[in-house]
Amino acid sequence: MTEPLLSIADLRVAFATRQGLVRAVDGVSLDVREGECLGIVGESGSGKSVTFAGVMGLIRPPGRIEGGSIRFEGRELVGLDPQAYRRLRGRDIAMTLQDAQTSLNPALTVGTQILEVLLAHGDDLPSGRARLRAARQRAVDMMTLVGIPAAARRLGDYPHQFSGGMRQRMMIAIALSCRPKLLIADEPTTALDVTIQAQVLELIASIRATLGMSVVLITHDLGVVAEYCDRVAVLYAGQIVESGPTAQVISDPRHPYTAGLLRSVPVLSHLDRPIHPIEGQVPDLIDLPPGCRFLPRCPMARTACHNPVPFHAFAEGRAARCVLAEAPR
């Protein structure tokens, strides 16, 4: 088996705050393979964004990568020098941020914002005068690809002149303009209405098919994962609690949190099925006890759970952080 495109091993990220050290990401390991779509699910604050900000080298003080490794195409990214990192970002790995409303610079035209990536990374663009023309052409192509009509005319527009869905598309166009090998889409649809959400997700799926890149789709909606991702990793309180092929995880969750999540949302086609809330609340990330982080809310807790629980593979392609993972339920 070939090496995965992106391989994160035991990543730890912490933020020093006035209240104490927030261990936002605490031992996350996952792989993204060539061409696949990996879904990352988890509730708000579970560490989804921070994990991938780590991948992008965008953890700023008071945050710090405390340990672990991030390898992209076999190259270690933790501790990479800033220049090299900069060349990597936007060209090999691209990321779209959670909130399209605030992620485009309101003071610059969208044309500027897409052209600058092309000009910064476009080694394959011709030099001299032709360079700008070529970059423009590629920008227009990219915008057309994501479904912005009359793209050439809209280069001079400012972000506020775009609707929410269009801004999200624009961000995707910018991210994809240098044909990255990996796209990290951080909750591309959370702020959007369902009808628009469907458009954007389908767009990402079709571009992935066209360009053959890998995609990490961050979301808190299991439905989105189910429809669009090959594999899924479930985050809870800074740790991955379960990962595996999407269909398997959904039909046969082995971590009580995953199971609880599945049972707590109403499903349109089974509205008669009662929903079961997960009682309690997400733990505070400061001063966590060493044991299972889901322990206080777990209906199946037992004494072993008070000790550190390893994230371990229990079947081909599947892993979970639960002492009961081996037993199907």
Within 73-102, the residues that bind Mg ion by CB under 5 A are 98
Return the residues of window 145-184 that contact Mg ion according to CB under 5 A: none
Q: Which strands, in side-by-side order, build the sheet including 63-72?
A: 20-32, 6-17, 63-72, 75-76
Q: 3-state class of 200 per DSSP? A: helix
Judged by CB under 8 A, the residue of 9, 125, 205, 226 near other proteins is 226
260 binds, among ligand ATP, other proteins, Mg ion, none (CB under 5 to 8 A by kind): other proteins
Using CB distances below 5 to 8 A depending on partner kind, what does residue 24 bind out of other proteins, ligand ATP, Mg ion, none? ligand ATP
Distances (CA, A) of 275 to 256, 279, 309: 15, 12, 28
Give whichever of 49 and 113 is closer to Mg ion, judged by the CB atom: 49
Site residues (vs ligand ATP, CB under 6 A) = 15, 17, 22, 24, 42, 44-50, 62-63, 98, 220, 285
Q: How far is the CB of 170 from ligand ATP (least distance, A)?
A: 20
Q: Per-residue contact track with other proteins, 250 to 289, x per CB under 8 A?
A: x---------xxx-xxxxxxxx---xxxxx-xx-------
Rule CB under 8 A: say whether 17 interacts with other proteins.
Answer: no
Residue 89 or 310: which CB sits closer to other proteins?
Answer: 89
Preceding omega of 62 cis (within 30 degrees of 0): yes
What SS3 string covers 97-164? Answer: CCCHHHHCCCCCCHHHHHHHHHHHHCCCCCCCHHHHHHHHHHHHHHHHHCCCCCHHHHCCCCHHHCCH
Site of tokens 């500027």: 112
Asked whether 186 and 44 are in contact (CB, 8 A), the reply is: no
Considering only 13, 24, 37, 104, the residue that binds other proteins (CB under 8 A) is 104
Report the 10 Å Cβ neighbour count for 81: 7
Nearest residue (CB) to other proteins, 11 versus 166: 166
Query: Residue 99's binding partner, choosing from other proteins, ligand ATP, Mg ion, none, with beta-carbon cut-off 5 to 8 A by kind?
Result: other proteins
Q: What are phi and psi of 173, to 5 degrees?
A: -60, -45
Q: DSSP letter at 165?
A: H
- Please report, as residue ranges, which positions from 181 to 220 form the binding site for other proteins (by CB under 8 A): 193-199, 201-202, 220
Q: Does 31 bind other proteins (CB under 8 A)?
A: no
CB of 328 vs ligand ATP, minimal distance in Å: 28
* Cα of 122 vs its chain's centroid, Å: 25
- Give the DSSP per-residue string, 252-284: S--SHHHHHHHHHS--GGGTTSPP-PPPS-PPP
Provide, rounded to whole angstroms, the least separation between the CB of residue 295 and ligand ATP. 18
Q: Closest separation between CB of residue 149 and Mg ion, Å? A: 29
How many degrees, rounded to 5, is the angle at CA 242 between CA 21 and CA 49? 45
Q: Which of 102, 137, 206, 210 binds other proteins (CB under 8 A)?
A: 102
**Cβ 48 to Mg ion, closest distance in Å?**
5
User: Is the Cβ–Cβ distance between 34 and 1 less than 8 Å?
Assistant: no
- Residue with Cβ nearer Mg ion (88 or 218): 218
Query: Taking CB under 5 A as the rule, does residue 49 contact Mg ion?
Result: yes
Answer with the entry of other proteins, Mg ion, ligand ATP, none that 223 interacts with (C-beta below 5 to 8 A by kind).
Answer: other proteins
Phi, then psi, of 208 in degrees rounded to 5: -60, -40
Query: What does the binding site for Mg ion look like in residue numbers (CB under 5 A)?
Result: 49, 98
